[in-house]
Amino acid sequence: MSDMTPNQIARNLIDLGRELNRLVADFKDLEIAAAETKREAEVSYSRAYMAAEGTVEDRKQTAIGETADQRYMADLAERQVAACKEAIRAVHVRIDIGRTLSATTRDEIKLAGVAA
């Protein structure tokens, strides 16, 4: 049984809908930022590789070392996208719980003989 009134449940669902909208907008922005960061890391690696001297392996290791910070930032950006995606999933679950709670509350009101 819920301690929330039908109006409180509805308000909560509205708030969750707004939160979901915000997260979806954030997700789009984070995906764009992640793609840009990844592109910057790849271009930096390519430039460092081409500028390095020595064997293929020497050039590769030099480029890896010189672009570690850019690759790290790209990895972080991807993690932010994943975290936002998980937050969106969590809000969906909370909305489903709210819908179930709403239906249960309506049923309880009907059983109690109170007009909803």
For the chain, what is the domain count?
1
- Residues of the domain holding 94: 6-112
Domain assignment present for residue 11? The answer is yes
d(CA 77, CA 9): 35
pLDDT recorded at residue 1:
44
Average pLDDT per 10 consecutive residues for the chain, totaling 116 residues: 81 96 97 98 98 97 97 98 98 95 88 69
Length of the chain: 116
C-alpha 102, offset from chain centre: 27
d(CA 102, CA 8): 10
Buried b (16+ CB within 10 A) or exposed e, 70-103: bbebbeebbebbeebeebbeebeebbeebeebbe
Residue 40 makes CB contacts below 8 A (sequence gap 6+) with 70, 74
Domain assignment present for residue 64? The answer is yes
Domain assignment present for residue 42? The answer is yes
pLDDT recorded at residue 114:
60
Query: Does residue 91 contact residue 19 with C-beta atoms inside 8 Å?
Result: yes
